[in-house]
Amino acid sequence: MGVYILMWLMIVSFFLLRDKKYSISPNKSTEKHNNCIFTFIMCLLLFVSAFRAEHIGADHINYITEFNVIKDFGDTYFEEKGYVLFNRIIAAIFNDSVFLMVSVSGLIIFSVTHYIKENVNYEYYALALMVFVFQPYLYIQSTFNILRQGCATAILLFSIHYLFNKKWVKYMVIGCIACTFHLSMVFIIFFLIIVRKINATPQLIRFFAIGSLMMNFAKIGNLFFSLFSSHYQTFSSFDETLFNNPIYLVAILSVVFYFTSIYSKLYKNVYEKFFVDLFLMSLVFLIFAVQNDILYRVYIVLAFCTIPSITIICKNLAEVAFVKRGFVIYYNFFYLGNIFFWYINKIRGYVPYEFIF
């Protein structure tokens, strides 16, 4: 548990110290120092995820087992052959599962680092780090547990630039590569195209939000899986998530309605509007996705994509102090709540944290 608390203290300290610094004298020196601290923390996160013990992470040991199967027989039960090829290359070069974890974690951390530096103002690097690390389904789950989806998401993040600039061929090529690591990307690449193509308005976003709520009440998500995917019904993850309750649904809907009520203040240009729309539409989808853990995994990819969105909203609503504070409080409680839940319930997959050496 100590490692998780240290990560929390490090990122919170970074946020508090740099946040105060910007209000005094933002300059090139500040940008350089901020960039160095951000890069250093991301390197530490890479070390923590890459060199964890084999039992840390709910599915970690399964990925190690399948890596050895791929190494010996060249294939495994995974349908996504891009991930299988990724394993084959690592096995051929290094012949050690430790390098699989280093490679997976390296791909995810490098991709997120590049994505944040490309789309987030340096003054908001600390906030972006909070979103990435303190939402346990992003950093921790993607590098400890859902490794295939983590790799697929990392690849997809490189395509967002092409999506915004409507370079459809390059976007689709990268998206198709991501699909060979996790099939959930098929839905995501088309969802992102829809967000990019439509001219979203507050009324349209609210309409979709209410529609998602109605589909949630009708349990359309579970019905979909019961009709088309008997495979997932054999897992407990088919059950409803802890988030699928009226309080959480009302909270999400309230956030959507609040931001759409001040919609024009959330962005300054077309570029920022794209990320704002992406964030709001991801919340709309979340209302639907909390029905079960399989759908929630699809939302996780959108959550990765919306890291810059949150920083853009906070920047443009700087005079509305409670917005930024609200995000900070939410992600801090989300993170601390999860790690204490793991500790109290002695969930072996996450605590006590141990390194492989």
Give tens-digit pLDDT for 122-150: 999 999 999 999 998 999 999 999 999 99
pLDDT-based confidence at residue 348 (cuts at 50, 70, 90): confident
Q: pLDDT: is 25 or 182 the higher one?
A: 182
**Cβ neighbours around 199 below 10 Å, total:** 7
pLDDT value, residue 24? 46
For residue 27, pLDDT over 90 is answered with no
For residue 231, pLDDT over 70 is answered with no
Q: Report d(CA 133, CA 8) in Å as an integer.
A: 8
Phi, psi of 120 (to 5 degrees): -120, 135
Could you tell me the two tokens for 143?
A: 């590098």
Q: Report d(CA 331, CA 139) in Å as an integer.
A: 13
The residue written with tokens 């740099």 in the block is: 18
| SS (HEC) of 173-230 | HHHHHHHCCCCCHHHHHHHHHHHHHCCCCHHHHHHHHHHHHHHHHCCHHHHHHHHHCC
Phi, psi of 25 (to 5 degrees): -155, 80
pLDDT value, residue 28? 65
pLDDT value, residue 33? 86
Q: pLDDT: is 49 or 227 the higher one?
A: 49
Q: Report d(CA 98, CA 100) in Å as an integer.
A: 5
pLDDT value, residue 23? 47
Q: Report d(CA 201, CA 318) in Å as an integer.
A: 22
Mean pLDDT of all residues belonging to the chain: 90
pLDDT-based confidence at residue 229 (cuts at 50, 70, 90): low
Distant-in-sequence, close-in-space partners of 189: CB < 8 Å, separation ≥ 6: 156, 159, 171, 172, 175, 176, 178, 179
Sign of the C-alpha dihedral, residues 226, 228, 233, 239? negative
Per-residue pLDDT, averaged over 277-285, amounts to 97
Q: pLDDT: is 153 or 349 the higher one?
A: 153
Q: pLDDT: is 211 or 79 the higher one?
A: 211
**Cβ neighbours around 319 below 10 Å, total:** 7
pLDDT value, residue 19? 62
pLDDT value, residue 237? 44
- List, as one string, the DSSP characters of 115-152: HHHHHS-GGGHHHHHHHHHHSTTTHHHHHHT-HHHHHH
Percent of the chain residues topping a pLDDT of 90: 75
Could you tell me the two tokens for 231?
A: 């495979």
Q: pLDDT: is 72 or 255 the higher one?
A: 255
Enclosing H/E stretch for 98: helix 97-119
Q: pLDDT: is 131 or 237 the higher one?
A: 131
pLDDT-based confidence at residue 239 (cuts at 50, 70, 90): low
Q: Report d(CA 328, CA 68) in Å as an integer.
A: 41
Could you tell me the two tokens for 331?
A: 């992600």
Give tens-digit pLDDT for 65-94: 999 999 888 888 888 899 999 999 999 999
- Cβ 134 vs Cβ 43: under 8 Å: no
Q: Report d(CA 130, CA 110) in Å as an integer.
A: 17
Q: pLDDT: is 222 or 150 the higher one?
A: 150
Sign of the C-alpha dihedral, residues 329, 129, 35, 57? positive
